Amino acid sequence: MKDILSIDIHTHILPEHIPDFKSKFGYGGFIHLDHHKTGCARMMMDDRFFREVGCNCWDPKARMDECDEQGVHVQVLSTVPVMFAYWAQAHHTHTLSKFLNDHIAGIIEKHPKRFVGLGTLPMQAPDLAIEELTRCKKIGLKGIQIGSHINDWNLNAPELFPIFQACEELDMPIFVHPWDMMGQDKMSRYWLPWLVGMPAETSLAICSMIFGGVFERLPKLRVAFAHGGGSFPATIGRVQHGFDVRPDLCAIDNNRPPSDYIGRFWLDSLVHAPEVMDLIVNLVGADRVALGTDYPFPLGELQPGKLIKSMNYPLEKTSQLLHGSALSWLGMDKKNFL
Ligand SMILES: [Zn+2]
């Protein structure tokens, strides 16, 4: 099964050296890497420790070596969501986005058969975001990654619609990643922001795009959601029932039922449990579930594709999950990678 083309749509990368944006911009809150020993670095938010990372977080060679060992042929690269910096002054986020996007574009240029790139945008300033989106397309990135919300805007916000419209026009698919998790003041223990907050964020994003009519108004926009759609798949019955019994609350911006949009968007396969893999594949279809691992982070699938391969699905379905769905979401062809 190692020979089946495997494309991992959910992996994160950082530049090895991140400028000191705090001194550059005159205020803090940005991430930099403290290379305190060979092959390891501390992600620091100003002076505060955020996360320890290994060289596979920045070194394409280390990543390709691991991919070769693990049977992954292509990684779709995106930044780490803590880099979004939507909270910062928009022109600073724009500068930061350009830096991160150029970094990823440089890697793609060197290794076009091993990596595909997603850009990040200053989403809090839609005009700048569209400008950078257009540039991302020019420098060879194949889509963008955005957060599950943008400051006070959920993804139904009218301010964001022109960005989504531009993504559709430019044929740039979107990967929605949970971040800045809701309810963190109630989740100080047990890693709950990651275990409870993140899945809720992803459902927030999906419901906002459905109820807000984004999918309805942009039929060609291709969107994939991280972590198997978070808590959405298990609660689709509740969401649909809510729409049925309280259209006065749910159907105010879009009167089509939520279930109509099942199969309209992609989910990654990062669910860690065979029962849930069956659930999402049965719900949205194998052609809408794509391998995604959250590489190189520990809450990801540590042996990429292991869950999909353990499901004993027919070969065609397995191939669909390992690369077919990724290709259709990215709008790419298998021969790009052979
Ligand atoms: Zn991730």
Domain coordinates of the chain in residue numbers?
7-337
Q: What is the mean pLDDT of the chain?
A: 97
Per-residue pLDDT tens digits for 50-107:
899 999 999 999 999 999 999 999 999 999 999 999 999 999 999 999 999 999 999 9
Ligand 1 center from residue 241 Cα (angstroms): 30
Ligand 1 center from residue 294 Cα (angstroms): 4
Question: Region 175-183: what's the mean pLDDT?
Answer: 97
Q: So what's the pLDDT on residue 338? A: 86
Which pLDDT band, with edges at 50, 70 and 90, does 1 fall under? Answer: low
Q: What angle do CA 49, 100, 291 make, to 5 degrees?
A: 85
SS3 of 18-31: the string is: CCCHHHHHCCCCCE
Within 13 Å, how many C-alpha atoms sit on residue 138's CB side? 7
Per-residue pLDDT tens digits for 32-43:
999 999 999 999
Domain 7-337: give its CATH code: 3.20.20.140
Please name the amino acid found at residue 162.
P
Instruction: With 0.95 as the threshold, say if the pTM is over it.
Output: yes
Contacts of 118 (CB under 8 A, 6+ apart): 76, 77, 78, 104, 141, 142, 143, 144, 145, 175
Terminal CA-CA length for the chain: 17
Ligand 1 center from residue 10 Cα (angstroms): 6
Cα gap 259→230, rounded to integer Å: 17
Strands 174-177 and 40-45: unpaired
- Residues 137/186, Cβ–Cβ less than 8 Å: no
Ligand 1 center from residue 251 Cα (angstroms): 31
Q: So what's the pLDDT on residue 3? A: 85
Concatenating the DSSP letter of every residue in 85-137 gives -TTS-HHHHHHHHHHHHHHHHHHHHH-TTTEEEEE---TTSHHHHHHHHHHHH
Ligand 1 center from residue 172 Cα (angstroms): 19
Per-residue pLDDT tens digits for 222-268:
999 999 999 999 999 999 999 999 999 999 999 999 999 999 999 99
Q: So what's the pLDDT on residue 2? A: 63
